[in-house]
Chain A
Amino acid sequence: MDLIAHHISHRFGALEVLDDVSFTLRSGEVVAIVGPSGCGKSTLLSILGGLLQPSAGQAEWRGAPPPDSRNPLTFVFQDFALLPWCTVAENVEFPLLHANLSERERCAVVDDALRRTSLSDFRGAYPRQLSGGMRQRVGIARALGVRPAILLMDEPLSALDSQTRELLMEDFIRLLADGSMGAVYVTHNLEEAVRIADRIVVLSRRPGRIREVVTIPLSRSERGDIHAREQLLALQSDLWSLIREQAVEAEREVQHA
């Protein structure tokens, strides 16, 4: 299943946020969206996932989602968005409650999602009892439970400490390794972008326009190699020089706002 951003523009009142953004996420592909603060990355993701109506253009999908997919476009949120009154298992079960599944089938799906995210021992815990990393694992388990075709990840690691980020990044890479799921990965962290993405869409400062689409010339499995790391660092540095000036301007703008 492909996901297409088709000439998307958006404004909040007088504030123009996105201007004519077009790109296609091919089936099983991971596209990272980077850009200076306030360039409309998260807004674009909301539009792609159907949570926001664009002012112009539209998000489209092409091809059939996997037959067992219960929510082809599934978000993983920056702030985890867990129901604090539900246990880990209940949070994972939540999107399945209105699906046409028997209780036994639901339990099987929840068990599988918890096992894949190493949460089986925490099924009865409440979100407040978990660390940030574990909470995000619950968010991932909830997403996996609906068998998405495309994950829409909005800065999923930005609220976490660096060690947890590293561990979860390894999990993401493992989950996306077989190409059965694609992902749009919004981040301001260029290191994350070059590690996980097949392509990186660089947005300009507000209103966000596509400045460049960078293809990573290595498969994800090759990126652990020491020479590959040097190549990725160079790529990261190139991306930073592309963004830096506008990031400084955006930061000043935020401070003056």
Chain B
Amino acid sequence: MLDRAGEQAASPPADINAEARPVAFRGAGFAPKAGRYSGWIALVLVLGLWQLAGSAGWVNPLFLPPPSAIALALWKLALSGALWNHVSASVVRIGAGWILGTMAGVAVGFAIGLSSLARGVGITFISALFPIPKIALLPLLILWLGIGEEPKIATIALGVFFSTAISVYSGVDAVPRNLIRMAQSFGVPFASIVRRVIWPGALPSILAGFRISASVALLLVVSAEMIGAQFGIGAFVLQAGNLMQTDQLLAGVVVLSLFGLAVGKLINLLETRLLHWR
């Protein structure tokens, strides 16, 4: 047994009559947690205040109609079938554009991530073309593809393509090299490494890219529909604005918001299902 008595005696003893004070806690904060209901409570409070402002005449309902008026407009639109016409037109455009852009983006992203030749060529083109606001290409696409659904879908596909390609090759680059070396050390064939190591390893980044590309698609569908469409949420919002029907305009905005939320939930679901190992 070690005897430390001598060492202890060498240290000056504390004054045993002095008052003992608790050590102050300094570790609070820097760990924010959202309360379970706080977001909903805040939303209800804002809506309530907004409603009060409208009902009490504090704001002109022509500029900012109360939530009840927006809900009523939404209800009437749903009953008349107009809501379905507009939503379905937008969903078809987003769906087609997103699928085309995503397929091309995933293919090009993987090629850039895996091939030196594709990387050399692809990154140069993507860097040059990515910053262009895709909606600026719509008139050109109308010239090329005619007036119809094609230029709108192509605009959305272009927007989705670039963000998807970037997130895919970033995801491939982020796959830990040690996993690839491990697979190579066991003589696993290239295709199997891509399928069983690189694809699942890049998936978190790819899904994060889907989230961004879905927002891009929503933005572009609204812009494209505002430029040239009879049906679609973008066209509906623009028409309502031109006619000063602000309740209908905001009803369209609510639909867009709900659509964005639904897409977000869908991607959350995909992440839970595909990234359960995290």
Contacts and interface: CB of A to CB of B under 8 A. Distances in A.
Interface of A: 49-51, 71, 73-75, 77, 79, 81, 83-86, 94-95, 97-98, 126, 128, 146
Contact of A75 (B176, B182, B197, B278): B182
A94 B184 CA distance: 12
B277 A95 contact: no
B187 A71 contact: yes
B186 interface: yes
B189 interface: yes
Contacts of B187: 71, 95, 98
Contacts of A128: 277-278
B17 interface: no
A174 B205 CA distance: 42
Nearest to A75: B185
Contacts of A51: 181, 184-185
B200 A83 contact: yes
Interface string B175-202: 0101101111111110010001100110
Contacts of A79: 178
Contacts of B192: 97-98
Contacts of B188: 94-95, 97-98
A185 B31 CA distance: 43
8 contacts: A51-B181, A71-B185, A74-B185, A75-B182, A77-B178, A86-B277, A95-B187, A126-B277
**Most central of B182, B187, B277, B278 by chain A CB within 10 Å:** B182
- Going nearest first, the 5 A-B pairs with the smallest beta carbon separation are A95-B186, A81-B182, A85-B277, A75-B185, A85-B200
A73 B200 CA distance: 26
**Most central of B186, B187, B197, B200 by chain A CB within 10 Å:** B186
Interface string B109-143: 00000000000000000000000000000000000
Contact of A146 (B182, B186, B196, B278): B186
A84 B278 contact: yes
Interface of B: 176, 178-179, 181-189, 192, 196-197, 200-201, 275, 277-278
Given A77-B178, A98-B192, A128-B277, A83 B197 contact: yes
The majority secondary structure among interface residues of chain B is helix
The majority secondary structure among interface residues of chain A is loop
Nearest to B176: A81
Given A83-B179, A128-B277, A74 B186 contact: yes
B190 to A, nearest CB: 11
A14 B176 CA distance: 26
Contacts of A86: 277
A214 to B, nearest CB: 28
A50 B185 CA distance: 8
Nearest to A143: B186
A2 B277 CA distance: 40
Contacts of A98: 187-189, 192
Given A49-B185, A97-B192, A81 B179 contact: yes
Nearest to A87: B277
Contacts of B182: 75, 77, 81
Contacts of A71: 185-187
A51 B186 CA distance: 10
Given A51-B181, A126-B277, A128-B277, A83 B196 contact: yes
Contacts of B179: 81, 83
A52 to B, nearest CB: 10
Nearest to A49: B185
A153 to B, nearest CB: 12
Nearest to A145: B186
Given A74-B186, A95-B186, A81 B181 contact: yes
B277 A84 contact: yes
B204 to A, nearest CB: 10
**Most central of A71, A75, A79, A85 by chain B CB within 10 Å:** A85
**Most central of A50, A75, A81 by chain B CB within 10 Å:** A81
A71 B188 CA distance: 10
Contacts of B181: 51, 81
A97 B197 CA distance: 13
Nearest to B193: A98
A86 B277 CA distance: 8
A98 B278 CA distance: 26
B171 to A, nearest CB: 14
Nearest to A91: B182
